[in-house]
């Protein structure tokens, strides 16, 4: 409407109209064209932006759209105006036609009226004749009706006479009487005929009267109608005459309107033509600019790719060197230490061993010689005694009965040995033959159903995928955002690829070199160490080995020498000689006697044995063969072969998929042989957990597969090994050596030793890559996606559900994933919806867990939980601090900080990562807020906001330990001064920096920033609130809150308030000092800046000076006390306190405290003591004695 009004007013100036239209529409039309993806075909990486994101291109696109809208609007107006002109022309033509028609209609009406008047006159004449005829007809009718009445009367009399006559004739019949009756009847007939004729005549007259009457009525009606018609024509003529007059007036007005509309139409045609030309120019400008932007984007992208490739190679080499060196050194150190220690210990053991060998050999020489001499002498005497005694004993035995005794005994022993040997050989042969017979025969292959059948050293470090090296710097320094983003895309793509390829090429060499060097160093160091325990052990071993080795040699040498000597020349009187002779002589006799006897015994025994052995062997073979055959014939003889495990699913789900999942039932199949002729009944299967099952029967003479012999359950956790041990038991009921020959434990009846099977516990299905489609924003729906994988050996069909759970405080999943009806290998699901609506779930970690189920059975779980955080646009909360953070980069710190504040109930959050949603506060600033700043990734985003904010203070949560370095990097804090104050209730080292509006362009106020951390920031909040106050507010608060008594015994709150006044005075002075200092050098600095200290009435000390430039009263005494303390604190700070005084220029000191020809800015503050002294001399003395009582720093010693 505004545009239309302006166009109407400026329609005589089409250029002005067009310009104004475009200017207005530019501000209200933000439409942006869709991107054309063809430009990115040669792009390196995936574009993280759209070409149309460029603000300047958006302006041109908007200009095209706005110009087009203006053109279309003008075209529409032109069309409407053309339509209006056409309508006015049609209206004019219609009016002319209407006037012509009215004139014609009036003429026709006048003619019709004339005809109707003639007709009326004619009918008026006819009506008199009709009325006369009607009167005559009525008279004739009356006469006929009278005649008819009279005839009816006569006829009635005749009929009465007839009735009387007939009655008389009946009484007195007579011919005359009869004649009289006939006459009367004739008369009656005549009268009846006459009456009938009269009635007919009367009817005709009645009809004639009616017709005349009807004609009369019709004529009267026609006359009335003619009169009405004439009146209507009169009215019509009158009305149409009036209409003609009105239409002629309208025709004149319409002609004027048509002229005006035609003029407007011509104007709009010119405007539309101008807008069409402007649209062509705007479209051409947009296209040309877009082409230039694309060229710059592709060029920056290429440059980014080149730089990323170079930086990636450099960082890849550095990373290879760092990790290869680290892990190679670590692994080489470990292996070198182990191998060097082992070899070093062996070396020390060898040294000790050699030393032990020497000492052991010496000890062996001494001990061996001594023992050999002693025992050789002893043995020599014994040898001589034995030699003499042997001759004497032998001669005595040869003369005995030994031969006859041996022959008798040999005969008996030969027959006994034949029996025993025949038993052994025959029994063994018989047993083996029987076993071979039964166990070598062909066994039937059978399958039976069990109880559960049908149930069902150098490791090269891998590449760290998320690594970013020291050279990683995707900043291209381009002013245009999308060009910068293009640089980053190319840089990051080539950086990642080159980083990895370089790493994987270089790291093996670095690792192996580092490994070898570290290994050798640590090996040499460990090898060269002394290992006293190992050396002693080697010594002990060497000494023992040498002693044991040489002792015998020395012993044998001495022993043999002395034994030979005394054997030839014995000492016959020695005890050992005499004892030995007696024993040996007797022994030799017995031996020789036995030799003679045994020789004869062996000869006779062998002959007897050979004669009887064959018969005895056959007897025992047949006996054992029969016994063993009986065992096989009458019993089962079992041999365990193998077992297998089949996964049976859970409640019928996930059976036989080859994956063993937690809690899944497993079934065990057995293969077992029965060599016996009898079935084995009630064979027991026991699992490792004690669960038992029974096999009803193992058929005889069979190799039997028992399906479902036992059931168990997977008990291990995910990724663990689930081990099952299956043991088979069947009691031995016959000879154990035969029936239990294949048993692991015959006494226990245990057929096998325990068949062990292990499987890795896993789920058949898996969920991976659970993610949300973008950032979770409160109140906005967001889709989730997940990949469902089939890790089993079969396909899954039926309803498969994906269940997602969260630890959110409210329900946030508004739509679950759709069920899957069939799964072969994998499927991607993208239809679940998340909507966070509860503030309690905002800026708090939300963990998403997921599992896949079928019929309530879990078939898989999410490989890695999704932990994310929902965000929200800034919402102002009265009286609450505002946490400013980039949640993408400071998520953990943000959560921790909010936790200390009771969540979002205790604070607002201004999330700089939500640039679009939080555009208003970020671009327009905030008012009266305390900002808690987590600077990582957020400082640069709030530069503009801080400049436009008012009555706002900042508490920096300095978790990065950067101090004010990050703050100073933004333009808001250009040339800002920072201080270290001692503030009561806060810290003895309260760090604060103030922005300087005199140095930073566009800055509203001197934004203060306090540096704290997450543990102590709450102590800073009260001070931050004071820093938001204006100078007048601080002074008014001092006046109202501080009394003359509390000034000297202040609460923490009052102390902070008074110190805040001091800090404000120092800050303002130092701001001007900085501006003055940077305005030039030496005498070239601008003195007008320094003069502001006196001339700027808004400064704190000047506002204070005005308030204390008067009489001291009870209500303002606190201001006078503060002014006295303020003056001396300021003087100490600016002249003597080194951290501040070092920065202050002489011109500033002179203007604050006065100099020759220079009036002091603090003059009014300084002289206020006089009024205070008049008010209360003792109070003045007290404050004078406590100068700097509320100074926010340790007062320095003042020098002359």
DSSP letters along 294-330, please?
HHHHHHHHHHHHHHHHHHHHHHHHHHHHHHHHHHHHH
The answer as to whether 155 is a domain residue is: no
pLDDT of 960 = 66
pLDDT of 376 = 81
772: phi then psi, degrees, rounded to nearest 5:
-100, 150
**In a shared domain, residues 651 and 696:** yes
The answer as to whether 590 is a domain residue is: no
Number of CB atoms found within 10 A of residue 1173's CB? 18
Domain end marker among 806, 838, 870:
870
Q: How far is CA 718 from CA 661, 664, 822, in A?
A: 8, 12, 25
**In a shared domain, residues 1052 and 1200:** yes
Collapsed DSSP state (helix, strand, coil) of residue 462? coil
The answer as to whether 68 is a domain residue is: no
What does the alpha-carbon distance between residue 542 and residue 552 come to, in Å, rounded to a whole number? 16
Across-strand partners of 1105?
none
What does the alpha-carbon distance between residue 587 and residue 601 come to, in Å, rounded to a whole number? 20
pLDDT of 420 = 85
Collapsed DSSP state (helix, strand, coil) of residue 721? strand
Q: Which residue, 929, 960, 923, 953, is CA-closest to 941?
A: 923
The answer as to whether 978 is a domain residue is: yes
What does the alpha-carbon distance between residue 1180 and residue 838 come to, in Å, rounded to a whole number? 60
The answer as to whether 844 is a domain residue is: yes
Using DSSP bridges, classify how beta strands 796-806 and 845-854 pair: parallel, antiparallel or unpaired. Answer: antiparallel
The answer as to whether 302 is a domain residue is: no
What does the alpha-carbon distance between residue 866 and residue 773 come to, in Å, rounded to a whole number? 13
Work out how many domains the chain is built from and give that number: 4
The answer as to whether 1137 is a domain residue is: yes
pLDDT of 705 = 93
CATH number for the domain spanning 820: value is 2.60.40.10
Burial class (CB in 10 A: 0-12, 13-18, 19+), 679: middle
Q: How far is CA 229 from CA 101, 110, 115, 365, in A?
A: 21, 11, 11, 176
**In a shared domain, residues 1040 and 1189:** yes
Sort residue 897 into left (φ over 0), alpha (ψ -120 to 50) or beta: alpha
pLDDT of 574 = 83
Domain end marker among 705, 737, 760:
760
**In a shared domain, residues 828 and 943:** no
What contacts 1088, CB < 8 A, 6 or more positions away? none
Q: Which residue, 1103, 1068, 909, is CA-closest to 998?
A: 1068
**In a shared domain, residues 785 and 748:** no
pLDDT of 150 = 84
Write out the two tokens for 840: 């309690």
What does the alpha-carbon distance between residue 324 and residue 330 come to, in Å, rounded to a whole number? 10
**In a shared domain, residues 1046 and 1147:** yes
> CA Rg, the chain, in Å?
66
Write out the two tokens for 139: 């008279």
**In a shared domain, residues 896 and 800:** no
**In a shared domain, residues 970 and 880:** yes
pLDDT of 459 = 54
Residue listed under structure tokens 């807008």:
275
What does the alpha-carbon distance between residue 993 and residue 408 come to, in Å, rounded to a whole number? 129
Q: How far is CA 639 from CA 264, 315, 668, 709, 980, in A?
A: 115, 66, 17, 16, 91
pLDDT of 14 = 41
What does the alpha-carbon distance between residue 548 and residue 262 come to, in Å, rounded to a whole number? 139
Domain end marker among 870, 905, 931:
870
Residue 752 belongs to domain spanning: 635-760
Contacts 24+ apart (CB under 8 A), 1136-1143: 1136/1196, 1136/1197, 1136/1198, 1136/1199, 1137/1193, 1137/1195, 1137/1196, 1138/1196, 1139/979, 1139/980, 1139/1193, 1140/979, 1140/1066, 1140/1070, 1140/1193, 1141/1196, 1143/977, 1143/1070, 1143/1073, 1143/1074
**In a shared domain, residues 781 and 744:** no
- Going from the first residue of the chain to its last (1200 residues), give the mean pLDDT of each consecutive group of 10, the final group possibly shorter: 37 40 37 51 84 83 86 86 84 81 80 77 76 79 82 84 82 81 82 82 81 80 79 81 80 82 85 88 89 88 88 85 84 78 80 88 87 82 78 75 73 77 84 84 78 49 77 86 87 86 83 84 85 87 84 82 82 82 79 79 83 86 89 92 87 78 88 93 89 89 90 85 92 89 90 89 91 90 94 86 93 93 90 92 92 89 90 91 91 89 90 92 93 90 92 88 86 93 94 94 93 92 94 95 93 95 96 93 88 94 92 90 95 93 92 89 91 91 93 87
Across-strand partners of 941?
none
In contact, 531 and 348? CB cutoff 8 Å: yes
What contacts 304, CB < 8 A, 6 or more positions away? 44, 474, 476, 486, 487, 488, 489, 490, 491, 492, 494
The answer as to whether 485 is a domain residue is: no
In contact, 397 and 596? CB cutoff 8 Å: yes
**In a shared domain, residues 1095 and 1177:** yes
Q: Which residue, 1107, 880, 1041, 40, is CA-closest to 486?
A: 40
What does the alpha-carbon distance between residue 389 and residue 391 come to, in Å, rounded to a whole number? 6
**In a shared domain, residues 1118 and 1150:** yes
Write out the two tokens for 462: 């891998």
What does the alpha-carbon distance between residue 574 and residue 565 come to, in Å, rounded to a whole number? 15
**In a shared domain, residues 944 and 857:** no
């Amino acid at each position: 409407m505004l545009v239309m009004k302006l166009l109407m007013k400026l329609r005589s100036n089409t250029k002005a109209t067009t310009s104004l239209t475009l200017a207005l529409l530019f501000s209200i039309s933000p439409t942006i064209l869709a991107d054309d993806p063809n430009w990115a075909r040669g792009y390196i990486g995936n574009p993280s932006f759209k070409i149309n994101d460029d603000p300047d291109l958006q302006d041109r696109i908007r200009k095209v759209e706005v110009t087009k809208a203006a053109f279309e609007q003008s075209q529409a107006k032109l069309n409407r105006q053309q339509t209006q002109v056409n309508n006015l022309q049609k209206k004019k033509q219609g009016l002319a036609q209407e006037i012509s028609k009215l004139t014609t209609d009036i003429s026709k009406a006048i003619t019709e009226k004339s005809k109707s008047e003639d007709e009326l006159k004619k009918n008026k004449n006819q009506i008199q004749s009709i009325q006369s005829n009607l009167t005559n007809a009525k008279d004739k009718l009356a006469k006929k009706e009278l005649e008819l009445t009279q005839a009816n009367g006569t006829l009635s009399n005749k009929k009465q006479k007839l009735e009387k006559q007939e009655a008389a004739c009946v009484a007195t019949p007579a011919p005359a009487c009869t004649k009289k009756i006939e006459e009367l009847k004739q008369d009656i007939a005549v009268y009846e005929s006459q009456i009938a004729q009269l009635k007919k005549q009367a009817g005709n007259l009645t009809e004639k009267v009616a017709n005349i009457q009807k004609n009369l009525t019709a004529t009267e009606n026609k006359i009335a109608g003619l009169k009405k018609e004439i009146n209507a024509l009169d009215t019509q003529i009158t009305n149409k005459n009036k209409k003609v007059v009105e239409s002629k007036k309208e025709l004149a007005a319409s002609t004027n309107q048509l002229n005006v509309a035609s003029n407007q139409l011509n104007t709009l045609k010119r405007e539309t033509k101008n807008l069409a030309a402007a649209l062509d120019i705007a479209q051409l400008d947009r296209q040309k600019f877009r082409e230039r932007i694309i060229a710059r984007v592709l060029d920056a992208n290429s440059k980014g790719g080149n730089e990323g490739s170079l930086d990636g190679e450099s960082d890849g080499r550095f990373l290879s060197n760092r990790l290869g060196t680290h892990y190679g050194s670590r692994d080489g150190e470990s292996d070198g230490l182990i191998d060097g220690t082992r070899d070093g210990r062996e070396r020390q053991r060898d040294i000790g061993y050699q030393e032990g060998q020497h000492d052991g050999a010496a000890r062996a020489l001494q001990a061996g010689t001594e023992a050999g001499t002693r025992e050789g002498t002893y043995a020599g005497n014994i040898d001589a005694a034995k030699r003499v005694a042997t001759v004497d004993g032998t001669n005595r035995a040869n003369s005995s009965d030994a031969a006859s005794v041996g022959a008798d005994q040999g005969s008996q022993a030969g027959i006994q040995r034949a029996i025993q040997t025949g038993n052994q050989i025959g029994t063994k042969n018989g047993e083996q033959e029987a076993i071979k017979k039964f166990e070598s025969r062909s066994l039937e292959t059978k399958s039976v159903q069990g109880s559960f059948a049908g149930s069902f050293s150098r490791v090269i470090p891998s590449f760290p995928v998320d690594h970013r090296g020291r050279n990683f710097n995707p900043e291209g320094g381009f002013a245009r955002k999308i060009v910068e983003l293009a640089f980053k895309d190319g840089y990051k793509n080539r950086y990642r690829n080159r980083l990895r390829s370089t790493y994987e090429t270089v790291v093996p060499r670095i690792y192996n070199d580092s490994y070898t060097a570290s290994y050798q160093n640590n090996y040499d160091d460990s090898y060269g160490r002394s290992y006293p325990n190992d050396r002693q052990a080697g010594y002990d071993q060497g000494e023992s080995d040498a002693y044991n080795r040489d002792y015998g040699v020395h012993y044998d040498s001495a022993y043999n020498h002395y034994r030979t000597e005394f054997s030839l020349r014995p000492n016959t009187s020695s005890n050992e000689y005499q004892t030995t002779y007696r024993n040996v002589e007797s022994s030799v006799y017995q031996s020789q006697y036995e030799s003679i006897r045994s020789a004869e015994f062996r000869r006779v025994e062998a002959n007897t044995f050979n004669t009887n052995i064959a018969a005895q062997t056959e007897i025992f073979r047949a006996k054992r063969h029969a016994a063993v055959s009986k065992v096989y014939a009458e019993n089962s003889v079992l041999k365990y072969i193998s077992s297998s495990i089949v996964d049976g699913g859970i409640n019928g789900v996930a059976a036989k998929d080859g994956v063993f999942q937690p809690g899944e039932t497993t079934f065990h199949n057995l293969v077992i042989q029965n060599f016996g002729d009898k079935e084995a009944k009630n064979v027991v299967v026991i699992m490792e957990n004690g669960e038992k099952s029974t096999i009803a029967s193992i058929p005889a003479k069979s190799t039997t597969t028992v399906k479902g012999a036992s059931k168990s359950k997977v008990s291990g956790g995910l990724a663990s090994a689930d081990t099952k041990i299956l043991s088979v038991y069947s009691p031995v009921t016959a000879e154990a050596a035969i029936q239990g020959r294949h048993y692991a434990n015959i006494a226990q009846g245990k057929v096998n030793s325990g068949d062990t099977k292990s499987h890795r516990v896993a789920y058949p299905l898996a969920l991976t890559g659970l993610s949300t489609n973008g950032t979770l924003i409160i109140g906005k729906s967001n889709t989730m996606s997940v990949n469902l994988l089939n890790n089993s050996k079969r396909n899954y069909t039926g309803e498969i559900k994906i269940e997602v759970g969260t630890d959110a405080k409210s329900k946030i999943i508004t739509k679950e994933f759709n069920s899957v009806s069939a799964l072969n290998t994998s499927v991607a699901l993208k239809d679940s919806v998340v909507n966070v609506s509860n503030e309690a779930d905002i800026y708090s970690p939300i963990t998403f867990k997921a599992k896949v189920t079928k019929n309530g059975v879990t078939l898989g779980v999410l490989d890695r939980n999704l932990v994310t955080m929902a965000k929200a646009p800034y919402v102002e909360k009265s009286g609450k601090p505002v946490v400013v953070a980039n949640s993408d980069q400071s998520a953990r710190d943000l959560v921790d900080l909010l936790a200390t504040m009771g969540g979002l109930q205790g604070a607002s959050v201004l999330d700089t990562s939500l640039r679009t949603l939080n555009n208003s506060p970020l671009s327009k600033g905030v008012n009266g807020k305390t900002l808690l700043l987590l600077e990582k990734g957020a400082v640069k985003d709030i530069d503009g906001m801080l400049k436009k904010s008012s009555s706002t203070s900042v508490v920096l949560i300095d978790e990065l330990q950067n101090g004010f370095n990050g703050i100073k990097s933004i333009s808001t804090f250009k040339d800002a001064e920072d201080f270290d104050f001692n503030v009561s209730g806060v810290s003895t080292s309260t760090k604060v920096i103030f922005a300087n509006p005199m140095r930073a362009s566009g800055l509203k106020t001197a934004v203060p920033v306090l540096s704290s951390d997450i543990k102590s920031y709450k102590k800073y909040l009260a001070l931050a609130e004071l820093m938001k106050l204006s100078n007048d507010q601080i002074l008014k608060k001092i006046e109202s809150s501080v009394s003359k008594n509390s000034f000297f015994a202040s609460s923490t709150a009052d102390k902070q308030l008074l110190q805040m006044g001091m800090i404000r005075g120092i800050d303002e002075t130092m701001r001007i000092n900085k501006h003055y200092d940077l305005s030039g050098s030496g005498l070239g600095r601008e003195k007008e800046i320094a003069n502001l200290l006196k001339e700027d009435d808004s400064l704190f000390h000047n506002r204070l000076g005005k308030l204390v430039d008067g009489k001291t009263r009870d209500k303002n005494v606190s201001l006078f006390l503060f002014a006295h303390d303020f003056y001396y604190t300021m003087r100490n700070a600016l002249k003597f306190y080194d951290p501040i005084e070092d920065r202050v220029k002489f011109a500033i000191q002179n203007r604050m405290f006065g100099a020759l020809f220079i009036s002091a800015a603090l003059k009014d503050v300084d002289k206020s003591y006089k009024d205070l002294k008049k008010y209360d001399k003792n109070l003045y003395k007290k404050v004078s004695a406590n100068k700097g009582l509320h100074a926010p720093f340790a007062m320095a010693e003042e020098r002359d």
